[in-house]
Structure 1
Amino acid sequence: MVSISDSYKQSTYCQAEAEYAFKRERRLLPIMVKP
């Protein structure tokens, strides 16, 4: 499960984390978070 906010989408580290999971064919459950 991944909490996605505007800050998350702009973060290089968070993008790398999502790409890592995608390349390893891991499923992600995105949850949109608004302040």
Structure 2
Amino acid sequence: MFPNEWLWRNKLIALLVLVIVIELVLFLVPWERF
């Protein structure tokens, strides 16, 4: 069984990665399409 801290830390890391990926996509997409 994993401790709660491990699960919480994993969720935070996943959230950070998701935010970084979204920001990279927003930077790479040319805004002229919208």
Q: TM-score, normalised by structure 1?
A: 0.42
Greater fraction of residues in helix:
2
Higher relative contact order (CA 8 A, sep 6+): 1
Greater fraction of residues in strand:
1
Q: TM-score, normalised by structure 2?
A: 0.43
For the pair shown, the structure with the greater C-alpha radius of gyration is: 2
